[in-house]
Structure 1
Amino acid sequence: MLSDLIREFDQLSDELLLAVRRGDESEIDLIDKQLQPLTRRIFDVDARSHSEIMAQIGFFNRLAMMNCEDDFSVRRYTAMMSRLFMRYLEAGGEQKFMRSRLEQVCLDPGYDPSVQELVLDSIPERVAVIGLDYRYIYCNQRNAEFHNKQPSDFIGKHMLDVIDQKRFQSRAKPRIDQCFGGARISYTYEVSDAHGRLFEVHCRMTPLTGPDNVVGGAVLVLNMQPMFASMTQ
């Protein structure tokens, strides 16, 4: 069902492109009215397998990248990706799969999967999921607290909105690009939090892969070790 809906969406998108080239306003309006509810139907599908989950999340990642110049659309589609991510993270049937994609972070086997906070917010590591457009799909409470923000503040945001350009270009982006290429990355660096406290950070990046090992993003797990007081304190 999901593949049929995505195929229908792609076909309508091709027809829309042709209508735009012809300047056929009535056809454009007609197709546009079909695309919006179809997008919602794709979102509402309850995926039943690993491949369907990644196809569904990948669909909205593709929409976000196609509309990269429209900030509203990017935030909308990345928010939908985040909601899908949490839907399957909480689902008992896919619980094992999603946990393995998060660097095999161990949780109490007796936890209630219906309670979102017990999934990733209770672990000591900072966790984030980054899409191929370098925008946040997910951020746990620990990572948000490090930046003195709320997890919802990150969804749809580009990494450049969180870290400065120099750190992004010289440290984060080259390694994330390797991760997007399928590599598992591990490195250590030092950083101060929003309160000026200095930490040594061990960062692990794992590709978030779909069918046929297609990478749809990167899972970042950051382990923090306090060092010494910042000179600014």
Structure 2
Amino acid sequence: MMHRWLHLRLTAPLLAFGGVAVDQVGPTRDFPSASALTGLLANALGLRREDWQAHQTLQDRLIFGAVNARQGRRLTDNQNAKLEANDRGWTTWGSPDQRAGASYDSPHRRRRDYLADHDCHVVLRLADDAAPDLDHLAAALDRPARPLFLGRKPCLPSGPLLQGLLTADTVRAALTATGQTGDALWPAEEGSGTMTELADLRIWRNGYHAGSRRVGLGRTT
């Protein structure tokens, strides 16, 4: 069966696709995660954080693949901040964050990884005809409700994300139709390639990342 696919180009001077974070270290993968694409589309649609059911439904319907037309160079940003007892930090859970304990002479440290000059092409569709449909997503990406960023707020895209619509029967065929050659990722259900378990799902009700799915890794030709 032939399907329509959105073709997105995710490229920026710096971007971050996330990964399994441990302590203060924020890594990045070479390909966008299902949760990252869900957040990107939800932001374009104007969904709010408390619209968790809409986020979850969107993630559950998402079928996608990605190919790296240009592999970016990894760059690590080490952040050190001196936080005093009365300093407060912005959070997403509704109350300011603050330091605890007596170690105020020690800085607050974070490490964040980025990809510099990375060029990733994504093809995606939705599993059913419920709302929003593919045309609705295309319109939102063309005129997003809010500014879009690629992983972290400083990571502004180099140009429009939407590159058009494609017609193909499978994810791999849609990736080939982009005309890009490189390392690629697709759903395991399409077979071939190197199969691996990828932890890239989010439980949007509580805001935690949990769950994994099987994907195939290989190259487009």
Class of the TM-score when normalised by the shorter of the 2 chains: under 0.3
Identify, as 1 or 2, the structure richer in strand. 2
Q: Which has the larger radius of gyration?
A: 1
TM-score by length of 1: 0.20
| Greater relative contact order structure (CA < 8 Å, 6+ sep) | 2
TM-score by length of 2: 0.21
